[in-house]
């Protein structure tokens, strides 16, 4: 086996008025093609906990900065793939985060999710301490987009 691939997906809700994360769900695609709920525990392999921390740090920075910018965030859906060599050394991190805005938000609130705001969020996600501690030779590509006509910016 020349490489290993770990494919995660997540979903979280952010109800008004506080827009804090609720109902966060993270799943891993197993070798049989089934999604397995991930609940960190002392029995979970340490490397998987490391990968979860990378994903959750990205999610935290996304949500915190969306709240800071006043985006009427309702839901975040994401896919995250980490590729390692056979030696378990990280080679590549790819992620896509899709933001859904609250349909009950005013037009003014929804306009806050413009390209500049998405760019700001994507840039701030690069400051996640787990990501910053990855070796510089790890290829990283993370995209943030707003569903239904919103902007997109690679991180």
Taking only the tens of pLDDT, the chain with its 155 residues reads 689 999 999 999 999 988 988 899 999 999 999 999 999 999 999 999 999 999 999 999 999 999 999 999 999 999 999 999 999 999 999 999 999 999 999 999 999 999 999 999 999 999 999 999 999 999 999 999 998 744 444 45
Cβ–Cβ contacts within 10 Å for residue 98, how many? Answer: 18
CB 69 within 8 A of CB 112: yes
Nearest-angstrom CA–CA distance, 28 and 121: 25
Residues 6+ apart with CB under 8 A from 89: none
Domains and CATH numbers, the chain: 3-154 (3.30.300.20)
CB 75 within 8 A of CB 100: yes
């Amino acid at each position: 086996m020349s490489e290993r691939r770990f494919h995660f997906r997540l979903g979280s809700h952010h109800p008004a008025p506080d827009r804090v994360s609720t109902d966060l769900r993270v799943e891993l695609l197993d070798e049989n093609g089934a999604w397995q709920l991930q609940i960190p525990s002392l029995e979970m392999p340490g490397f998987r906990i490391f990968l979860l921390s990378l994903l959750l740090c990205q999610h935290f920075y996304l949500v915190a900065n969306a709240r800071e910018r006043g985006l009427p965030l309702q839901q975040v859906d994401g896919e995250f793939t980490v590729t390692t060599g056979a030696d378990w050394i990280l080679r590549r991190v790819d992620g896509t985060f899709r933001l859904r805005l609250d349909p009950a938000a005013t037009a003014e609130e929804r306009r806050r999710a413009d390209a500049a705001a998405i760019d700001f969020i994507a840039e701030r996600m690069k400051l996640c301490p787990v990501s910053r501690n990855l070796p510089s030779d790890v290829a990283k590509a993370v995209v943030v987009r707003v569903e239904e006509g919103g902007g997109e910016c690679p991180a």
